[in-house]
Amino acid sequence: MNIKNTTKGFTDFFKDNSKIRNYLPQILTLLFIVFLIGYFTYNAQVNMDNRGIDFGFHFWGQEASFDIQFSLIEYDGSHSYGRAYLVGLLNTILVAVIGIFFATILGIIIGVSRLSSNYLISRVAEWYIEIFRNIPLLLQLFFWYFAALRALPLPKEAINFFDVSFLSVKGLYIPKFIWTNFDIFIYSIIAAIISIIFVYNYARKKQEQTGTQTPKFLISLGIIIVLPLLTFLIGGVSLSFEYPILKQMSETIFNYVGGAKIIPELMALAAALSLYTATFIAECVRAGILGVSKGQKEAAGSLGLTTGQILRLVVMPQALRIIIPPTTNQYLNLTKNSSLAAAIAYPDIVLVFAGTAMMQTGRAIEIVSITMATYLTLSIAISILMNWYNKKIAIKEK
Amino acid sequence: MYKYIKQLTSLFAVIAVLFAFAGEAMAAKKSKTLKNTQKKGFVRCGVSQGLPGFSNADASGNWTGVDVDVCRAVAAAVLGDAGKVKFTPLSAKERFTALTSGEIDILSRNTTWTLSRDADIGLTFVGVNFYDGQGFMVRKDSGITSTSQFKSGLSACVNIGTTTELNMRDFFTSKGISYEPVVFEKADEVVAAYDSGRCDTYTTDKSGLAAQRTKMKDPDAHIVLPETISKEPLGPVVRQGDSVWEDIVRWSLNVMIEAEEYGITSANADAMKSSENPQIKRLVGAEGELGAAFGLDNDWSLRIIKQVGNYGESYKRNIADTGILPDRGPNQLWTKGGILYVPPAR
Amino acid sequence: MIKKINILGTPTQDKLNLFVPMGIFFIILGFLDVILNAHFKINLTSFLPIWLNYFAPLIFGFLGLHYIRIEFSGIKILDNLNKNINSNGFNALLTLLILFVLIQNIPPLLNWLFFDADFIGTSKEECSREGACWIFVNVWLKRFIYGLYPNAEIWRINLSFLLLIGFIIAGFLVPVKAKKYIIIFLLFVFPFIAMNLISGGNFGLEWVETAAWGGLSLTFIISIFALLFCFPIGMFLALGRRSSAPIIRYSSIGFIEFWRGVPLITVLFMASVMFPMFLPDGTYMDKLVRVIIAITLFEAAYMAEVIRGGLQALPRGQYDAGKSLGMGYWRMHLLVILPQALKLVIPGVANTFLALVKDTPLILVVGLLELVGMIDMAKSNPDWLGFATEGYIFAGVVFWIICFNMSRYSQRLERRYKTDR
């Protein structure tokens, strides 16, 4: 009896003091989190003391003493670990950008084909999606790198593309672009883009005011061709090519020197990422186009627009609103999946920093935290961008 | 008078008890690893993922190799049976973290002893069981017979996170050759990349080159270049902070080497108990109390020699007779022209 | 140019008998050319200059399809064909390209995969090199499925999975009252039974260390465990994210966004390399346990987002009605909200589980050998070098079968539970 009374008193106490009921769980959660973090930190401190390791980031400025196979900026072993981190980060961004580019194009093609009235095309697209979506990305990557690209011939018998480009087991060799006065060329491109934006704005304003159309596409085309061409003719910009030539290094070892080299690791990673992510983007595109209500297409048709115009002016703008958020999510997934480079020898941030650097310095906690923080920053930045875009284009319902 | 005798007796009794406890405490030295190992009943040994001659498992899962023998020696000393070892294959990436995290107690994985590894990451190297150096392997038909024939543009396959990666850089930079490092995590992937032609040369410790060559499709198509570009003393590693365990592993290895110095083999170890040489008698446990220093019984060294053999037997069994490196090179006793010189077990 | 070929006029229904045979003739010519070229090395049109020769079958086929493109012919097959693959020139071209590519590549592929392949044998020498060497898969099959588990103890893994499947099937068949007991048994009792069976150590079973578990069985073990635990954790996180208490909400958001923002590889690194430093000195948590915990927390964050979507999709009226009936927070959620929300999120949950299964091969970077890891190990064995392609194709097929069926099943579930509102 007494126990029942006390517990009843207890629960009554809670029912009456709603403030405590609100705050107690929060305080408990906070205490739990603080306790957990404190426990981990204490243990880590004890462990590190026992082993004689100290916590710190001074390895950042130390000499790295290892070379990296492929780097967009100047790097060799005498640079610091910090610079190695930068090289890895740039390589990650490079493969992500290449992957996003190809995945988008392929995804759009497949997504639109899926909706085609041609039975064969839509079936082929459907099978493509089903096959490449259900096989793990790591397996696809291994297949491309260890099975497909390893089967390429040695440089001596490389596959020859018009004698300027060669594909062998060591990589794809393409002519290197050698610019003089490259900055002038870039300025001209930037100027061209700015003027095109002005042209479009002007055309839009003119259409709103007077209803006449201006051939803005042709004008933009002209600008983008003429302006850079001018820099070639009078701006002092010139372009020459350095072709890869086969050099014999020993009796059977050949290599191409000169020209730019694309390593097979990069090709395999970009190929696997693009093919895999394209399936998801295709589904997003299909959902987007299907999401535009049929009435829109019929109304546009009844206004006398051709199929191409309907697609371009009515369907796509609305479909884009549905397509872009999940697609941006897929871009994010692609960037995170690029961390699989650690399994093949592509020197991205995971292999260079959380791999070699971590093994040479032994600073596991610091390095893994920095790597995770890098990816977290990228994800959060893209999420914020996407939220801003979503708010901007959201249809303001009445 | 009687009162004083009583007080004195009780004082002596107290002092005796204290000494007894102190003696007990000093004898059973605090070693968590030793205690855990004895409780578990097996030694946890980290080895490679398959390097013939050093640590390699056959089809039924039996491990053999000189690194394996070091762990077996410790098991024989501590647990009485050289078979009570559990082997964990580790890649170059996870070997140190497996040790520091407590997954294994000994890392016997042809690991090079360097300053940064010894001092900076919480580990202790307890000896060298194989003196080696780094070398390069190329295909025989490439026509290269010496590293002086290397030209710029070379691609070299290497294991990630090893001293090999760093030494390779030093070597090529000092020669002014620009090269392309292709780094993989697993040794098998490195070998496959070299074999397929992705890389022109494969570099690691020379013993590793010889061992991996036996695993290739066509071993005779490859040669190891004569130049040695670095010092690679390979030896077992333990966690920092447990000095008794350190000593046990260190002296297990030393006993194996010293036994060969005195001619004690697994066959004649028992017979050597009646030897004239006091050092031999100490090594086979017939004299002295060496085991007590670690908290082990006195037959610990005898068990090592009988169940695993001395260093020469281990080398012959694993590396010489299998054809990997028939010539012992620097891994010979100092009395016979090599550099194996260990402190005496006495 | 199309106008130029209309020398005989546009194909219409009246001139049916003129155009259809002509069209069929050209189509057959085109296909014949491709087949002979690709498989019998006979070049019918070798008298033409090189570019024309290469594109000849395409031109023939295109002409043929143009001629049979009759708007309404009355013949059902022809109309179907025209509507589906021949509606305009572009479609016709694409159809031809696809068919020609298939004709050129499928027979050699089938040859390599099945007809020239070797299925029976025990060693590498019995592999002729013309076709795929499935002997490789045959010999290593036990390792691929069970990892390095000792052969004598494989019955334990089989028994565990049989029990699991048996109880799940029983769960579908027994009356509703007993279903509750089956679910409780599966969730709470079965894990212990399975653990004891598979890892052993007690009851006289030999202890098998987790480093020896591997292959497809490890994939399943990890997936099932992770799914079991990530669902309740995800549910709590989703509820926490929607709670009005600021501390609970922000800590849930922080937790979810952290796990969703980092790639799984870094999570696995953290579990295998960093996490042991956070444990007290001397304790050692098994690597497999750490990896399962890491994967569970990782997937729980994604699961939380999926469940949150379902909770958000419920109209506010449900919450209000529950509150107006005087239900407390937990009662309302348990009896009113969650049953409806979970029905909505079934496809999302199934997708997350699918992603989980597809993510398990990543554990090979921390040294646990599941199916892909075992194949890697097998293909580097000195006796079996050079069979990477066969191994990867086998793994691809296995995963594809599993994932494809799961996605089909989840689509069926979605259709079944679609209680329209």
Sign of CA dihedral B19, B21, B22, B26: positive
Half-sphere exposure of C320 (CA within 13 A, CB side): 3
Q: Which of A150-159, A270-279, C213-222 has the lowest mean pLDDT?
A: A150-159
- Return the higher-pLDDT residue of B280 and C388: B280
Q: Is A361 on the interface with C (CB under 8 A)?
A: no
Share the mean pLDDT of chain B.
87
Of B139, B149, B160, the CB nearest to A356: B160
The pLDDT, as a whole number, for residue B25 is 47
Of A51, A66, A364, the CB nearest to B239: A51
Which residue is listed with tokens 């291994």? A142
Q: How confident is the model at residue A13 (pLDDT cuts 50, 70, 90)?
A: low
C280 touches chain B (CB under 8 A): no
Return the residue in A53, A109, A135 with the most chain C beta carbons within 10 A, the one to mutate for interface testing: A135
Residue of C nearest to B216 (CA): C382
Structure tokens at A121: 């095309």
Which residue did the predictor score with more confidence, B299 or C421? B299
Closest partner residue to B120 (CB to CB) among A146, A247, A362 is A362
Ranking B1-15, B221-235, C183-197 by mean pLDDT, the lowest is B1-15
- Closest residue on chain C to A368 (Cα): C270
pLDDT tops 90 at residue C205: no
The average pLDDT across B275-299 equals 86
Tens-digit pLDDT profile for residues A179-217? 887 888 888 888 888 998 998 888 888 888 888 877 888
Question: Which residues of chain C make contact with B185, given a CB cutoff of 8 A?
Answer: 365
Testing the interface with C: which of A55, A139, A280, A328 to mutate, by most C Cβ within 10 A?
A139
Residues of chain A with Cβ-Cβ distance to B100 below 8 Å are: 51
Q: Is A178's pLDDT higher than 70?
A: yes
Q: Which residues of A touch C264 (CB under 8 A)?
A: 336, 339
* Chain C interface test: which of B45, B88, B103 (most C C-beta within 10 Å): B103
What does pLDDT average to over chain C?
82
Q: Any CB–CB contact under 8 A between C290 and chain B?
A: no
**Residue C1 in this model has a pLDDT that exceeds 60:** no
Interface contact B160-A351, CB threshold 8 A: yes
Query: Is there a contact between A345 and B193 if contact means CB atoms under 8 Å apart?
Result: yes
Chain C residue numbers touching B192 (CB-CB < 8 A): 380, 385
Whether C367 and B185 lie within 8 Å, measured CB to CB: no
Is the pLDDT at C420 greater than 60? The verdict is no
How is the beta sheet containing A165-168 ordered, strand by strand? A159-161, A165-168, A171-174, A260-262
Quick one: average pLDDT of C41-51? 72
Considering only the beta carbons, identify the residue of A27, A138, A378 that sits closest to C361: A138
Contact C284 B101 (CB under 8 A): yes
State pLDDT tens for residues C363-388: 988 888 889 888 888 877 777 777 88
At B108-144, the pLDDT tens digits run 999 999 988 888 778 899 999 999 999 999 999 888 8
Is C326 in contact with C335 (CB distance < 8 Å)?
no
SS3 category, C253? helix
Model confidence at A271, in pLDDT bands (50, 70, 90)? very high
Residue A231 near chain C (CB below 8 Å): no
pLDDT, tens only, B208-233: 999 888 888 888 999 999 999 999 99
Compute CA distances A184 → A33, A191, B75, C223, whole Å: 56, 10, 73, 56
Which fold would CATH assign to domain B132-231?
D-Maltodextrin-Binding Protein; domain 2 (3.40.190)
Give partners of C (≥3 CB pairs < 8 A): A, B
Enumerate chain A positions whose Cβ falls within 8 A of a Cβ in B.
Answer: 48, 50-53, 65-69, 76-77, 146, 150, 154, 169-170, 247, 249-253, 255, 257, 264, 342-345, 347, 351, 355-356, 358-362, 364
Burial of B92 (0-12, 13-18, 19+ CB in 10 A): buried
According to the model, what pLDDT value does residue A398 have? 46
The answer, for B185 touching chain A at a CB cutoff of 8 Å, is yes
Output the pLDDT for position C301: 93
The CATH number assigned to the domain with range C135-149+208-416 reads: 1.10.3720.10
Residue of higher predicted confidence among B336 and C178: B336
Q: What is the pLDDT of residues A72-90, one digit of tens each?
A: 888 888 899 999 999 999 9
Yes or no, beta carbons of A25 and C91 under 8 Å apart: no
A376 touches chain C (CB under 8 A): yes
What ranges do the domains of chain A cover? 2-51, 81-171+263-393, 176-242
Quote the pLDDT of residue B96: 86
Contacts of C403 in chain A (CB under 8 A): 133-135
pLDDT at position B28 is 45
What CA–CA distances, in Å, run from A341 to A264, A270, B196, C87, C295? Answer: 12, 10, 20, 45, 20
Most confident of B163-167, C131-135, C146-150: B163-167
Residue that wins the pLDDT comparison between C14 and C68: C68
Q: How many CB pairs under 8 A join A and B?
A: 116
Q: How far is A66 from chain B (nearest CA, A)?
A: 5
Q: How far is C284 from chain B (nearest CA, A)?
A: 6
Backbone angles phi, psi at B116, to 5 degrees: -65, -35
Check if B140 contacts A (Cβ < 8 Å): no
Of A134 and B6, which is predicted with more confidence?
Answer: A134
C211/B88 Cβ within 8 A: yes
| DSSP helix/strand/coil, A136 | coil
For chain C, say whether A142 makes contact (Cβ under 8 Å): yes
Task: Indicate the range of A101-115, A320-334, B328-342 predicted with least confidence.
Answer: A320-334
Give the mean model confidence (pLDDT) for residues A297-316: 85
C-alpha count within 13 angstroms, C-beta hemisphere, residue A336: 25
CB contacts, 8 Å: C247 with chain A: 26-27, 29-30
Of residues C169, C224, C175, C167, the one with CA closest to residue C195: C224
Q: Measured between CB atoms, which of A117, A131, A372 is closest to C262? A: A372
CA distance B44 to chain C (A): 11
**Residues of chain B contacting residue A170, judged by C-beta atoms under 8 Å apart:** 155, 197-198
Q: Is C392's CB within 8 Å of A147's CB?
A: yes
Beta strands in chain B (DSSP E): 43-47, 56-57, 63-64, 85-89, 106-112, 123-125, 130-139, 154-159, 179-184, 201-205, 222-224, 231-239
Instruction: Find residues 356-395 of chain C whose CB sits inside 8 Å of chain B.
Output: 365-367, 376-377, 380, 382, 385-386
- A partners (3+ CB pairs within 8 A) are B, C
Which chain C residue has its CA at the smallest distance from A333's CA? C263
Q: Which residues of A touch B96 (CB under 8 A)?
A: 359, 362
Per-residue pLDDT, A305: 87
- The CATH code belonging to domain A81-171+263-393 is 1.10.3720.10
Cβ atoms of C31 and C63 within 8 Å: the answer is no
pLDDT score recorded for residue C13: 63
> B189 to chain C, minimum CA–CA distance in Å?
8
Residue C108: pLDDT band (50, 70, 90) is confident
Radius of gyration in angstroms for the set of CA atoms belonging to chain A, rounded to a whole number: 29
3-state SS class at B318: helix
**CB-neighbour burial class of residue C228 (10 A; exposed 0-12, middle 13-18, buried 19+):** middle
Assigned token pair, C123: 């060693």
Cβ contacts of residue A17 below 8 Å, gap of 6+?
Answer: none
Mean pLDDT, residues C93-101: 86
For testing contact with chain A, the best of C392, C393, C404, C407 (most A CBs within 10 A): C392
Q: Give me the amino acid identity at B34.
A: L
Say if residue A370's pLDDT is above 60.
Answer: yes
Q: Which residues of C touch A27 (CB under 8 A)?
A: 247
pLDDT tens digits, residue range C289-338?
899 999 999 999 999 988 988 888 888 888 889 889 888 888 888 888 88
CB proximity list for B247: less than 8 A, separation 6 or greater: B293, B294
Residues above pLDDT 90, as percent of chain B: 40
Q: Residues C342-357: pLDDT tens digits?
A: 878 888 888 888 889 9
Angle between helices C388-416 and C371-379 (to 10 degrees): 170
CB contact (8 A) between residue B120 and residue A361: yes
Residues of B in contact with C284 (CB under 8 A): 101-103
Indicate which of A42, A51, A126, A138 best probes the interface with C, i.e. most C CBs within 10 Å of its own CB.
A138
Half-sphere exposure of A19 (CA within 13 A, CB side): 0
pLDDT band at B65 (very low <50, low <70, confident <90, very high): very high
Kindly list the residues from chain B whose CB atom is less than 8 angstroms away from the CB atom of residue A347.
Answer: 183
More confident residue, B139 or C17: B139
Using the predicted structure, report yes or no on whether residue C228 has a pLDDT greater than 70.
Answer: yes
C19 pLDDT band, cuts 50/70/90, is confident
